[in-house]
């Protein structure tokens, strides 16, 4: 398997896992466990960002172009 596909697969798995951590945090009544899961989530988010930057530098991931000011204003106005 090519590195590009492995990196993108890991990024997708991290994204899914981070969502699962969010759900666990919201349902957790024990503050000590909640803090532990939050720390694991934060570490996963940091790792995901570092891997994303690597993928972007290598051309494995090309983010969407930034929205134009008029597009942002339209969405903002539509949400009001």
Angle between helices 31-57 and 3-27 (to 10 degrees): 160
Q: Which two tokens stand for residue 31?
A: 């503050």
pTM for this model (two decimals): 0.75
Model pLDDT for residues 8-64, shown as the tens digit of each residue? 999 999 999 999 999 999 999 999 999 999 999 999 999 999 999 999 999 998 888
pLDDT value at position 61?
84
Residue listed under structure tokens 């995901």: 48
Domain boundaries, the chain: 3-78
CB-based contacts of 27: which residues, under 8 Å, 6+ apart? none
**What pLDDT was estimated at residue 47?**
97
């Amino acid at each position: 398997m090519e590195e590009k596909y492995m990196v993108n697969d890991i990024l997708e798995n991290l994204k899914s896992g981070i969502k699962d951590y969010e759900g666990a945090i919201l349902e957790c009544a024990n503050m000590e466990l909640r803090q532990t899961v939050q720390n694991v989530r934060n570490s996963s988010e940091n790792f995901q960002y570092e891997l994303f930057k690597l993928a972007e530098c290598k051309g494995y991931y090309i983010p969407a172009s930034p929205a134009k000011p008029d597009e942002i204003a339209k969405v903002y106005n539509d949400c009001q």
